[in-house]
Structure 1
Amino acid sequence: MKTIHLGVFEVAGPQVGGTLSWPHPRSRSAQFHDLDHWVHIAQVLDRAGFDFLFFADGYGYPSVAGDLPETAARGGINFPSLDPAVLIPALARETERLGFVVTSSTGLDHPVQTARRFASLDHFTRGRVGWNIVTGASQNTVAELFGHTTMQAHDARYDQADEYLDLALRLWQTSWDDDAVRADAAAGVYADRSGLHRVEFAGEHFRSSGYFTVDPSPQRVPVLFQAGTSGRGREYAARNAECVFVQGTTVAHTAANVADIRAQAAQQGRDPASVRIMVGLTVTVRPTHDEAARLRAEFEEMQTDETVATLYAGNTGIDLLALDPERSLEQLLDRDDRGPVGQMGQSNIDRFLPKDGSAAPTVRQILDDLKGKGTRGFQVWGDPVEVADELEHLMDAVDLDGFLIEPIFDPADLEDVAELLVPELRRRGRMPQEPVAASTLRERLIGADGYFRRPEPAAASAHREP
């Protein structure tokens, strides 16, 4: 029986998942500017034995017809947002065990900048940090913000991301010997020069020559997360990721994605069981079923077609309200000028274009399906026993390692999970009776000794001085 790992999916913005919830009296998520708000959430999770707090992030925002829609601004739909990485040292100081995962794109900063930032965070958290690797989000708006003349194609972004990580790993893994740091005040020696090695990297997208200035952190390499479930995204995850975050649509579809990631990992020479795969889960748990159902109904009543369309356009480039509601997304394939369609959130397009011969849903059905769900994964509500039953079913049916809880009413939903659901999972032996006292996030999630190593890529070479 697998242990259930628990993380929490957050954004440094008004609400999670592109749905509308911040105006509800149960929610305090509009306080996202307040550091005390995040300290409270982190401490709730730390005491309850959650494994990590995960921050989605990006520079983009919803765009319809090339501009920020009024619906996004009025409703706080994936807009505005702060940089969550700056929160992490403060939250680590106020917690004992909780890990922190933050999203960073491979399409903007140079790998040297990213390697330095995460190595620094790993020091400041004493080894409790992870990197959620993304190739971008809302790429059309990001391209405009950064002055790029064109948006890079979907699969080409993953080609670049392969090389990006290759260089970051080279810097983390080969620049410093394990015993290079002496910090010997009596001898006046901080670092042993013979243990420092110059990195030479010449790839198609990135070049680097020199020494990495951050000495080895507790993990050396942050725990590597990846969240793409497109075909190319699953290939990238199978090669690189230690933890994969997928969004659940149906049990069968999600199980197929999970099986494919594990099979591709095996083809890469990895133990497929060592890849931790977690699915997004929106949980409304209350002492009774009726209380949970009432809260869920109140949330659903807040959602509108405009909210759904704003979110979907920001993720995929498709304005659902501009399409024929009685036809499927296949109507887009008839267009000569498809713009950004197919080059942005591919997985949220593929889910509505089935390849198993079944009928594709109409735009009207897509709007109804996404209403109250947004970019969220599975939806579960009920009393603690009902919710725990469903989590166990999903774990076994999909071959999961755990869940990322996506709160509706923040932080109240997380407090309910900590107080009502976690004790039930412990009673069933699905979570440890006491929070795990692992020293690093990698040890907590994977139990591996040392830091992540991957076979040297053939595309570039490192020069290590004798």
Structure 2
Amino acid sequence: MSHSDDNQPTKFAYWVPNVSGGLVISNIEQRTSHDPQYNVELAQVAEAAGFDYALSQIRFTAGYGADEQHESVSFSHHLLANTTSLKVIAAILPGPWNPALAAKQLSTINILTGGRVAVNIVSGWFRGEFHAIGEHWLDHDERYRRSEEFIRSLRGVWNEDTFSFRGDFYRFNDYALKPKPVDPQPEIFQGGSSRAARDMAARVSDWYFTNGNTPEGLAAQVQDIRAKAAENGRSVKVGINAFAIVRDTEEEAMAVRDEIVAKANPEAVNAFGHEVKNAGKASPEGEGNWAKSTFADLVQYNDGFRSNLIGTPLQVAERIVALKRAGADLILLGFLHFKEEVEYFGRTVIPLVRELEAAGEARAIAAE
């Protein structure tokens, strides 16, 4: 049985390389740059290639291959100013951001770009980063409680004439934001794989991002979140992370994956693994985003290899459709050489996905 909205074509997003080091913690060559001009050209290539969204990353300090980091919201706005249809999802971290400022900032960018900005609320996993900037480190479920209040605050400020709120983390007293965002209002994305993350998404988020996974693993998460969202009278769309290695032959694609892992930076990978597994172990069920990640999974943070989009254009297109059947509405992609591979993906994979989707719809109509 199909879970996702089959009549909606799969949406595609890419990770914005606004931090240095690319998307794999490896010493393999990555023809990818965090340079602003490279990123503007990449956004234009992605838009032409049929991508719907770009996701900027939020990091405040160096670590795990990312020595330099451009701030996400201002960087996102620069990409929006240089594109016409691409939506850019700016990552925001409650703690450093206050919801009143975020609501106003995003509302202004929404107006300036005709509704093309979205937001990804990141609850935080990197304890050292919080310590470095003098932010309190909350325990796992408290981080999600704060994020939920943050999202409720954004929605209230954007939708109510005057907004009042009394939370454990945030307070508003008859606050009137003017002008309000135009439609479409900024969509709210949120990531995580823990129970707290799914529970929060079911209550307040538009989109839930999950780490790379098999169709079976994804389906279990989707069923959980759909049931919880339905109890709240809501629906939540799901995006899954994947690292795409698309080559003319399967052998070439697998060889690239093997080289990435062979040239991985073990100190950085293991330090990253230690940090994120600590964050996950702190969740009540002892399972966070990276609980079952192997060394190879951690080389592409967010378990991108587990989605298995590694092979020929047809193999990758078929696996995308399998993820869609398991409940994915959006595929969030990382690449080794962003500009050239985004172009190749748009030229070779996306048309095959559309053909497979159309064939699936035709079969469904025939079956009815």
Give matches, 1:348-427, under 5 Å: 348-351=289-292, 366-367=294-295, 369-370=296-297, 372-377=299-304, 378-396=307-325, 398-427=326-355
Larger relative helix fraction? 2
Letter in 2 for 1:54: L
Contact 2:49 2:343 in 1 (8 A): no
1:342 has 2:282 as partner = yes
CA distance 1:251–1:425, change in 2 (3 Å): closer
Letter in 2 for 1:12: N
Structure 1 residue corresponding to 2:112, chosen from 109, 121, 124: 124
Match of 2:57 in 1: 56
1:172: Cα distance to partner? 0.8
1:221 has 2:150 as partner = no
Structure 1 moving runs of 4+ over 4 Å: 343-346
Match of 1:144 in 2: 131
Letter in 2 for 1:223: E
1:141: Cα distance to partner? 1.5
Q: Report the count of equivalent residues.
A: 350
1:372: Cα distance to partner? 4.0
1:78: Cα distance to partner? 3.4
Mapped partners of 1:173, 1:383: distance in 2: 46
Mapped partners of 1:209, 1:18: distance in 2: 45
Secondary structure in structure 2 of the residue aligned to 1:403: strand
Match of 1:299 in 2: 260
Letter in 2 for 1:134: V
Match of 1:334 in 2: none
Give matches, 1:214-253, under 5 Å: 214-219=178-183, 221-253=185-217
Structure 2 residue corresponding to 1:164, chosen from 127, 150, 153: 150
Match of 1:331 in 2: none
Letter in 2 for 1:376: D
Contact 1:4 1:430 in 2 (8 A): no
Instruction: List per-residue Cα deviations over 1:210-236 (Å, max 9, x = no partner).
Output: 544440222373101011120000000
Mapped partners of 1:428, 1:256: distance in 2: 24
Structure 1 residue corresponding to 2:168, chosen from 184, 196, 204: 204
1:133: Cα distance to partner? 1.2
Match of 1:97 in 2: 85
Match of 2:42 in 1: 41
Contact 1:8 1:404 in 2 (8 A): yes
1:108 has 2:96 as partner = yes
Contact 1:281 1:376 in 2 (8 A): yes
Structure 2-normalised TM-score? 0.86
1:281 has 2:242 as partner = yes
Secondary structure in structure 1 of the residue aligned to 2:308: strand
Mapped partners of 1:220, 1:282: distance in 2: 29
Contact 2:11 2:329 in 1 (8 A): yes
Match of 1:336 in 2: none
Secondary structure in structure 2 of the residue aligned to 1:100: strand
Q: CA RMSD in A?
A: 2.6
1:51: Cα distance to partner? 0.9
1:208: Cα distance to partner? 2.3
Mapped partners of 2:244, 2:225: distance in 1: 25
For structure 1, the residue ranges without an aligned partner over 5 or more in a row are 63-71, 176-197, 319-339, 353-365, 432-466
Match of 1:332 in 2: none
Identity of aligned residues (%): 23
Instruction: List per-residue Cα deviations over 1:7-34 (Å, max 9, x = no partner).
Output: 112341123445225x51xx332x31x3
Contact 1:60 1:137 in 2 (8 A): no
For structure 2, the residue ranges without an aligned partner over 5 or more in a row are 1-5, 360-368
Letter in 2 for 1:380: L
Secondary structure in structure 1 of the residue aligned to 2:54: strand
Mapped partners of 2:22, 2:178: distance in 1: 34
Secondary structure in structure 2 of the residue aligned to 1:50: coil
Mapped partners of 1:423, 1:220: distance in 2: 27
1:123: Cα distance to partner? 1.3
Mapped partners of 2:202, 2:139: distance in 1: 21
1:47: Cα distance to partner? 1.0
Instruction: List per-residue Cα deviations over 1:373-413 (Å, max 9, x = no partner).
Output: 332331322221121122122222x2221211111222222
Structure 2 residue corresponding to 1:265, chosen from 229, 232, 247: 229
CA distance 1:125–1:399, change in 2 (3 Å): same
CA distance 1:372–1:147, change in 2 (3 Å): closer
